[in-house]
Structure 1
Amino acid sequence: MRVLCLGIALAFSASTALAADMKLSPADTAAAFKAAGFAKKGNRWEGCGDPGTAAYTPGTIETVRDVNGDGQPEAIITEGSSYCFGNTGMGYAIVSKQAAGGWKLITGGPGIPNLLATKGAGGWPDIEIGGPGFCFPVERWNGKEYRLHRHQYEGKACRPR
């Protein structure tokens, strides 16, 4: 399972590297983490409430880029913890900078997000949510929220067990 998760993490890294990453100011970084529900504890951002297990990885901004083509940056934030996220060992949040300057949580949960080329309303990419197994949910933005759209494995339709 460790190899599968590593492969998914590498796919996530490759898919998010398709566009040049932007840099956030310290104020935008803090606002993005806060919008995702994280709190600063010492020099790190924590969100899930892990009690300090050895495998815990604090919040990290994995990528910052305009994923929906509206001219505003989105940030993909990840956090690692089997205590909080089970066998997947990772959770994510996608936050978007709004035209007025604030940040808004778009979606998040347990799993490893993989932004796909297919799109939902407003140019938002579909998100394959990886984890253990071989049939992953794909969520699509409907204009208000991300909702389950289909399941797939390596781009092909599948049925979860």
Structure 2
Amino acid sequence: MRIHIAFAVVLALLGTPVLAQSTLSTKDRSAAFRAAGFTFKDGKWSACGDPGTPSYSPGQIETVRDLNGDGRPEAVITEGGTYCFGMTGTGYTLVSKQADGTWKSVTGGIGIPNFLATRGVGGWPDIEIGGPGFCFPVERWNGKAYVLHRHQYEGKPCRPQM
């Protein structure tokens, strides 16, 4: 719940409203999960697989929103658990609805995505990948993929400890 609220606050600051999960049809929800590499089993969406650990939380759509201004929705899909995602405890995948109606995975990884006001090619927002520590990677869209752009903590440049 806390992550969902954080996404909503950050996205609201970017200037367009956060769309509720209910704005996606059942067909689009399923297609978005499949594009993110999730499968539906025992009433849950999972990419990692439920190993039976208490920390596990199945896949859910955290946020639906037009992030790049193309008029089509993007969705952030998360899954949780230390078994799959270590100390961060969360994995994410960003998927985007395409002009032909299909869904495509844009990026993903371990951590908590925080969409920033700074932007890369095509209007895609930079993504700060949160997790344990005090120096987070920021990835920028280069037209083909999200790649490491810089590191920051509370908006200030930093150097990650190796």
- TM-score > 0.5 by shorter chain: yes
Match status 1:103 vs 2:103: yes
Which whole-Å deviations, capped at 9, do the CAs of 1:51-110 have from their partners, x for residues lacking one? 121110000100101000001100000110100000000000000000001000000010
Q: Tell me the number of residue pairs that the alignment of Structure 1 and Structure 2 aligns.
A: 156
Is contact 2:128–2:139 with CA below 8 Å preserved after alignment?
yes
Tell which has more relative contact order, 1 or 2 (C-alpha 8 A, sep 6+): 1
Give ranges in structure 2 of 5+ residues lacking alignment: none
Distance 1:7 1:26 in 2: 25
Match status 1:155 vs 2:155: yes
4+ runs deviating over 3 angstroms: 6-13
Percent identity, aligned pairs only? 68
- The Cα of 1:153 is off from its aligned counterpart by 0.3
Query: Structure 1's 73 and 9: CA in aligned 2 closer, same or farther, altered over 3 A?
Result: closer
Distance 1:9 1:140 in 2: 22
Is contact 2:7–2:62 with CA below 8 Å preserved after alignment?
no
Match status 1:12 vs 2:7: yes
CA RMSD after TM alignment: 1.7
Query: Structure 1's 135 and 119: CA in aligned 2 closer, same or farther, altered over 3 A?
Result: same
Distance 1:159 1:31 in 2: 39
TM-score with structure 1 setting the length = 0.91
Give ranges in structure 1 of 5+ residues lacking alignment: 1-5
Distance 2:77 2:3 in 1: 16
Distance 1:9 1:21 in 2: 12
Which whole-Å deviations, capped at 9, do the CAs of 1:108-132 have from their partners, x for residues lacking one? 0100000000000000000000000
1:52-63 matched pairs, under 5 angstroms: 52-63=52-63
